């Protein structure tokens, strides 16, 4: 109601102003050649973006975006509800089975750091306040998922992902229109072309992420601001309304809206100080107020947890920001805000240990509040002094061009430093060897200095050990000024060392020549002067480029090309526009200038075309919908499916459950849970009670068990059903170089039904019997007619406990190792104790044999006197480990491998 009243009042204010008119739809028509050229570029963009990547698996940001849209289309609501979660939340305080289900089947987050302590799946937050309703809210802001939902509702689930391609198309078009408005049609069309062919743009126009949405909203604002700043245009009011609407929509698109909206709101404040009172300004305010208020309400309600979790530290930088969100916090987070060392709200020591009941810091709160009041009063006073503003503007106007040219020099030097010096690729040795890199051998298979030099176009970049000489020189000057004794440079952590070459990595997708053309366009534009048309584009592009290019977060952990998403909304399109501006500026009456200009554009387009070939060769993750559809058809929406395993590492196996669980829930409305505990059999008795409760309600209980499943429940047994395996193509997941090859995502699960009653474990198992894999197993692989699973140096399986003297037959294979070595494998046996007793197994003496690269049997005899409370035999396999990537870098496989497990059998 408050939002409606506020928007209504704003609209009434806009309507009642003198000369207020509806926006005119009279547009300035472009020339025919402009329309044709833009049409061709948009057609190419549509062809490149028209096959979206089927990123519907959970555990990825893109999968959460996509499935949020699917769920909205299926249920009509952003907030989803789950009856089983509601039952567990209601009974967890009294029933042990519900308590164990609550802790084993849901994700956990720290109550001292996050608003929601439980997650239905990764990215689906369960708030304690409405847990009894079974409600959970997908993370992120929800403008982009709403578009996916709209496409899904209109055209079907698979077509819902076309919203991503539409956003990319709108981004390219928005850049072209903004470039045309800023610098003319030639710049706009060239910039469109460069962005449309950019590998990162193509990838994220297929990959369901919100960056392309933010991109087109930003350039819609740039275009509208230029048109609004031209008073004589007949479409000025329409541009004003577009400017306000796009600005408000940013609050619903991405949390980094601060880079765009802070200068935009500052500009609105400047217009207000100048007593701007014409109709166009009112349309800006009305459009921004309407959508912006909607975005603010959404941010503080549905996306409150995501907003506070993301800005948790920054919200505590000032007393007023902490005080603003304080009522929105959980009681535990309120306590954290008050007892945190250096808290702005209380008298806490800084940086020493905090005081539990420190008094409120009213003087600081009052001081910050007084500063805000002083700013408001000062603004009101300045607004009433139009002559003062006129004198300030008259004084500043002559200085704007000199300051802009100083900025051109400073920023030019900074770009050269960030691209040439800071990465420390161009060492004296590399420069001296550069001419030798022109040979055909070094171009195809570079080594040494030539490999380092190719770091500028996508080869691995070796992180520098120490800061560059310029940084060390500046540090010495700072130490001398402070009077601090000089010390030897400290080695850089990889986290920071990797970030030294961020601008080089940006250049991977536009070429070193593209960086050079961007540099030329930027310096030339600044030299000619910042004006009312281009300040917004330049300011946002330069600030975001500075922040993200020097940012170290993610540089050592996230894969390329995925990490490039941070450069997509403003930086890559901004660089394309500056490159186009530089190329057009080279054009002149002389033939050599025209040749240089046309040649520059041609070189850029050829490089981009070569770069996107691997991106468009095979659309990623095709077949994902078919796989999920096939699994969903195996059970009814009333049934329960548990997902477990997928990796020998606990965290990876825990998170792998979301891969299939999320699309099965969002698209098909099925009840799917991940088994989260490292050892769920420790809580087996209570979990069996919960499973039997579900079965008594008429539900079947199934389990999708991946590698390292390690499932055993007392009083129930697993009936083997379908084996599910798929290899889904996706871009190679490289950490330190530009990916150029299509790899595959290996998904393999054995499906079981949980049935009441005790049954003897299978006497013969193979690599697909994942419930028998206790630890150390990687996902199943099939090569030719062989099916096997690599194991870690230590792995373990379960078999039925036979009588004394029975034989255990293992079939193992060393695999083809680059060094041709023959590993020795040692095997020990033990009876399994009760899982909840914390009793260690009593292992036998090891039996060791060498294992070769063929499926070789290894025989063991079960000794007399071996007992087990669960009638289960544990078999542990120990072997030396090796890492394929360390043996051959071309393998890109960083797993620690032991041997290949083929089968195991108990023969009595």
3-state helix, strand, coil in the chain (%, to 5): 55, 15, 30
Q: What is the DSSP string of 530-575?
A: --TTTHHHHHHHHHHHHHHHS--TTTTTSPBTGGGGGGTTTHHHHH
What per-residue confidence (pLDDT) applies to 23?
53
| pLDDT band, very low/low/confident/very high, at 355 (cuts 50, 70, 90) | confident
Percent share of the chain, pLDDT over 70: 95
Range name among 21-25, 414-418, 618-622 with the lowest pLDDT average = 21-25
What per-residue confidence (pLDDT) applies to 53?
94
Is residue 210 within 8 Å of 69, Cβ to Cβ? no
What per-residue confidence (pLDDT) applies to 836?
85
pLDDT greater at residue 499 or residue 119: 119
Burial class of residue 589, CB neighbours in 10 A (0-12, 13-18, 19+) = exposed
> Stretch 197-203: mean pLDDT, rounded?
95
Task: Give tens-digit pLDDT for 868-897.
Answer: 989 999 999 999 999 998 887 667 788 999
What per-residue confidence (pLDDT) applies to 29?
60
- Which backbone phi and psi does 881 adopt, to 5 degrees? -100, 160
CA 851, CA 821: separation in Å to the nearest integer?
10
Tell me if residue 255 falls in helix, strand or coil.
helix
Question: How is residue 577 annotated by DSSP?
Answer: H
Task: Give tens-digit pLDDT for 76-95.
Answer: 999 999 999 999 999 999 99
What per-residue confidence (pLDDT) applies to 25?
47
Element (H, E) at 641: strand 640-644
| pLDDT band, very low/low/confident/very high, at 389 (cuts 50, 70, 90) | confident
CB atoms within 10 A of CB 429: 11
| pLDDT band, very low/low/confident/very high, at 21 (cuts 50, 70, 90) | low
Question: How is residue 230 annotated by DSSP?
Answer: -
Task: Give tens-digit pLDDT for 501-512.
Answer: 999 999 999 999
Nearest of 796, 719, 708 to residue 751 by alpha carbon: 719
**Listed ranges 29-43, 514-528, 887-901; the one with the highest mean pLDDT:** 514-528
What per-residue confidence (pLDDT) applies to 528?
95
What per-residue confidence (pLDDT) applies to 889?
67
Task: Give tens-digit pLDDT for 754-799.
Answer: 999 988 999 999 999 999 999 999 999 988 889 999 999 999 999 9
> Stretch 461-482: mean pLDDT, rounded?
82
Phi-psi map region of 526: left, alpha, beta (phi>0 left; psi -120 to 50 alpha) = alpha
What per-residue confidence (pLDDT) applies to 748?
93
| pLDDT band, very low/low/confident/very high, at 31 (cuts 50, 70, 90) | low
What per-residue confidence (pLDDT) applies to 2?
45
State the sign of the Cα–Cα–Cα–Cα dihedral 420, 425, 431, 434.
Answer: negative
What per-residue confidence (pLDDT) applies to 555?
61
Task: Give tens-digit pLDDT for 693-739.
Answer: 999 999 999 999 999 988 889 999 999 999 999 999 988 777 778 87
CA 551, CA 533: separation in Å to the nearest integer?
29
> Stretch 433-460: mean pLDDT, rounded?
88
Q: What is the DSSP string of 671-731?
A: EEEE---S-GGGGHHHHHHHHHHHHHTT--EEEEE-TT-----TTEEEEEEEEEEEEEEEE
> Stretch 393-408: mean pLDDT, rounded?
94
Angle, CA 59 vertex, CA 55 and CA 60 arms, to 5°? 50
Nearest of 335, 340, 361 to residue 352 by alpha carbon: 340
Element (H, E) at 764: strand 764-766
| pLDDT band, very low/low/confident/very high, at 554 (cuts 50, 70, 90) | low
What per-residue confidence (pLDDT) applies to 230?
84
| Domains defined along the chain, listed by start | 1-30+210-302 (no CATH), 79-141 (no CATH), 314-375 (no CATH), 405-588 (no CATH), 621-758 (no CATH), 760-908 (2.60.120.260)
pLDDT greater at residue 855 or residue 45: 45
Task: Give tens-digit pLDDT for 662-693.
Answer: 999 999 999 999 999 888 888 999 999 999 99
CA 841, CA 750: separation in Å to the nearest integer?
27
Is residue 234 within 8 Å of 279, Cβ to Cβ? no
Burial class of residue 455, CB neighbours in 10 A (0-12, 13-18, 19+) = buried
Range name among 296-310, 395-409, 442-456, 792-806 with the lowest pLDDT average = 442-456
Task: Give tens-digit pLDDT for 84-129.
Answer: 999 999 999 999 999 999 999 999 999 999 999 999 999 999 999 8
pLDDT greater at residue 735 or residue 515: 515
- Mean pLDDT, the chain, rounded, equals 90
With 70 as the cut, is the pLDDT of residue 6 above it? no
What per-residue confidence (pLDDT) applies to 1?
42
Q: What is the DSSP string of 118-144?
A: EESSTTEEE-GGGGGGTEEEESS-SHH
What per-residue confidence (pLDDT) applies to 738?
81
Residue 77 makes CB contacts below 8 A (sequence gap 6+) with: none
Helix spans in 716-794 (H):
none
> Stretch 786-813: mean pLDDT, rounded?
94
What per-residue confidence (pLDDT) applies to 336?
94
Helix spans in 832-903 (H):
884-887
Q: What is the pTM of this model?
A: 0.92
């Amino acid at each position: 109601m408050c939002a409606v009243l506020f928007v209504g009042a704003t609209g009434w204010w806009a309507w009642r102003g003198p000369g207020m008119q509806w926006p005119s739809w009279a547009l300035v028509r472009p020339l025919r050649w402009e329309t044709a050229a833009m049409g061709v570029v948009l057609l190419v963009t549509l062809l490149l973006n028209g096959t979206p990547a089927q990123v519907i698996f959970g555990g990825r940001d893109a999968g959460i975006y996509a499935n949020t849209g699917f769920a909205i289309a299926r249920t009509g609501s952003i907030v989803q509800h789950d009856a089983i979660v509601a039952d567990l939340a209601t009974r967890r305080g009294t029933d042990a089975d519900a308590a164990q289900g609550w802790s084993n089947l849901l994700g956990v987050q720290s109550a001292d750091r996050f608003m929601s302590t439980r997650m239905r799946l990764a990215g689906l937050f369960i708030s304690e306040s409405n847990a009894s309703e079974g409600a959970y809210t997908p993370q992120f802001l929800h403008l982009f998922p709403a578009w996916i939902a709209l496409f899904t509702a209109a055209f079907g689930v698979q077509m819902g992902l076309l919203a991503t391609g539409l956003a990319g198309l709108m981004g390219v078009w928005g850049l072209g229109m903004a470039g045309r408005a800023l610098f003319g049609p030639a710049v706009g069309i060239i910039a469109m072309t460069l962005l449309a062919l950019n590998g990162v743009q193509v990838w994220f126009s297929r990959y369901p992420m919100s960056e392309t949405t933010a991109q087109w909203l930003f350039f819609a604002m740039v275009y509208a601001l230029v048109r609004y700043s031209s008073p004589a245009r007949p479409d000025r009011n329409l541009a004003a309304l577009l400017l306000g609407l796009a600005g408000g929509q940013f609050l619903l698109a991405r949390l980094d809206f601060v880079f765009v909206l802070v200068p935009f709101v500052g500009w609105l404040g400047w217009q207000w100080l100048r007593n701007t009172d014409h109709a166009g300004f009112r349309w800006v305010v009305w459009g921004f107020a309407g959508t912006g208020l909607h975005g603010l309400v959404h941010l503080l309600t549905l996306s409150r947890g995501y907003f506070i979790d993301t800005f948790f530290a920054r919200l505590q930088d000032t007393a007023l920001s902490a005080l603003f969100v304080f009522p929105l916090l959980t009681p535990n987070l309120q306590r954290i805000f008050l007892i945190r060392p250096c808290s702005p709200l209380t008298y806490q020591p800084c940086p020493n240990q905090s005081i539990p009941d420190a008094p409120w810091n009213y003087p600081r709160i009052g001081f910050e509040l007084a500063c805000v009041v002083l700013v408001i009063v000062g603004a009101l006073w300045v607004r009433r002094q139009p002559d003062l503003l006129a004198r300030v503007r008259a004084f500043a106007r002559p200085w704007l061009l000199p300051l802009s040219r100083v900025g051109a020099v400073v920023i030019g030097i900074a770009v050269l430093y960030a691209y040439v010096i800071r990465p420390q690729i161009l060492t004296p040795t590399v420069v001296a060897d550069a001419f030798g890199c022109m040979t055909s051998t070094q171009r195809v298979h570079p080594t040494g200095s030539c490999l380092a030099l190719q770091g500028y176009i996508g080869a691995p970049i070796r992180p520098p050990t120490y800061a560059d000489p310029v940084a060390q020189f500046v540090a010495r000057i700072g130490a001398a000024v402070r009077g601090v004794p000089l010390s030897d440079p400290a080695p850089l952590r990889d986290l920071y060392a990797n970030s030294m070459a961020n601008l080089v990595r940006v250049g991977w997708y536009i070429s070193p020549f593209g960086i050079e053309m961007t540099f030329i366009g930027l310096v030339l534009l600044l030299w000619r002067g910042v004006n009312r048309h281009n300040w917004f584009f330049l300011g946002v592009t330069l600030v975001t480029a500075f922040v993200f290019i020097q940012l170290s977060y993610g540089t050592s952990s996230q894969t390329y090309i995925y990490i490039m998403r941070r450069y997509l909304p403003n930086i890559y399109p901004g660089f394309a526009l500056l490159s186009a501006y530089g190329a057009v500026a080279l054009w002149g009456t002389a033939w050599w200038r025209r040749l240089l200009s046309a040649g520059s554009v041609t070189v850029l387009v050829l490089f981009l075309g070569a770069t996107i070939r691997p991106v468009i060769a095979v659309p990623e993750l095709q077949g994902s919908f078919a796989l999920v559809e096939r699994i969903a058809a195996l059970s009814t929406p009333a049934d329960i499916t548990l997902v477990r395993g997928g990796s020998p590492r606990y965290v990876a196996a825990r998170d792998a459950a979301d891969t299939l669980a999320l699309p099965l829930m969002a698209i098909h409305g099925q009840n799917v849970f991940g088994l989260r505990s490292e050892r769920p059999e420790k809580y087996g008795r209570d979990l069996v009670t919960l499973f039997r409760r579900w079965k008594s309600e008429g539900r079947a209980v199934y389990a999708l068990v991946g590698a390292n499943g390690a499932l055993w429940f007392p009083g129930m047994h697993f009936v083997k059903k379908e084996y599910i395996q798929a290899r889904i193509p996706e871009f190679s997941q490289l950490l330190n170089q530009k990916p150029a090859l299509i790899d595959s995502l290996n998904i393999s699960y054995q499906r079981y039904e949980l049935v009441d009653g005790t049954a003897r474990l299978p006497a013969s198992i193979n690599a697909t019997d994942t419930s028998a894999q206790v630890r150390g197993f990687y996902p199943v692989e099939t090569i030719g007619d062989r099916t096997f699973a690599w194991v870690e140096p230590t792995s373990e399986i379960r078999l039925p406990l036979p009588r004394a003297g029975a034989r255990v037959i293992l079939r193992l294979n060393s695999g083809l190792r680059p060094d041709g070595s023959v590993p020795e494998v040692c095997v020990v046996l033990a009876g399994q104790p009760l899982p909840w007793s914390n009793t260690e197994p009593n292992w036998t003496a090891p039996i060791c044999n060498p294992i070769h690269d063929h499926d070789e049997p290894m025989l063991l005899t079960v000794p007399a006197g071996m007992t087990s409370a669960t009638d289960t035999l544990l078999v542990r396999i120990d072997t030396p480990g090796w890492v394929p990537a360390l043996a051959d870098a071309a393998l890109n496989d960083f797993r620690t491998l032991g041997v290949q497990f083929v089968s195991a059998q108990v023969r009595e």
